[in-house]
Amino acid sequence: MNRTWAEYKVGFGDPSGHYWLGNDRLSQLTANYRYKLRFDLQQRDTGNWYYAEYSTFRVLSEARNYTLLVGGFSGNASYDALGYWHNGQQFSTIDRDNDWWSSRNCAALSGGGFWWQGCGECSVNGARSTDHFYWLDLPGGPWNLQLSRMWLQCKQ
């Protein structure tokens, strides 16, 4: 289900399920680069888990449309799908299109808000019922995600 800018701003859902912390909170928490970001990705067919971790993670303020700053990829997901295409991008939702495509809204197309460039290399907020829930070059095929989790981790 697609959500509005206002919903992504304040957050929604249940922490044990479909959940978004809120872009305002992400911006406040990451202002001093005290957190790193980790994605856990599960494939539908095999049930195998993969991860992508970023040692640098920051979300700028709403005045900057929650621009994503991310770097320092590591993990077994085999490809930096977030940093390569989404770093430096503004957040887009169904009602606030900030992606680079002038002819389409990537959030509306995928079914979820995200830091889109040109509909990107990963779509971890996309609708699972579509082909818009993926991580490019994931071993076994990118279009086959069953579950994704984003974790903020305090730096040591």
Tell me the pLDDT tens digit for each residue of 118-154. 787 888 887 766 667 888 888 776 667 888 999 999 9
Secondary structure (DSSP) of 30-88: HTTS-EEEEEEEEETTT--EEEEEEEEEEE--GGGTT-EEEEEEEESSSS-HHHHHHTT
Domains of the chain (ranges; CATH) run: 5-154 (3.90.215.10)
What is the model's pLDDT at position 128? 63
Q: In the beta sheet, which residues pair with residue 71?
A: 56
Distance CA 96, CA 107 (A): 9
Residue, of 84 and 67, whose pLDDT is higher: 67
pLDDT tens for 9-60 read: 999 998 887 899 999 999 999 999 899 999 999 988 888 999 999 999 999 9
Alpha helices, DSSP H only, in 20-143?
Answer: 23-30, 81-86, 106-110
Question: What's residue 1's pLDDT?
Answer: 67
pTM score, whole prediction: 0.91
The kind and range of the H/E element at 8 are helix 5-10
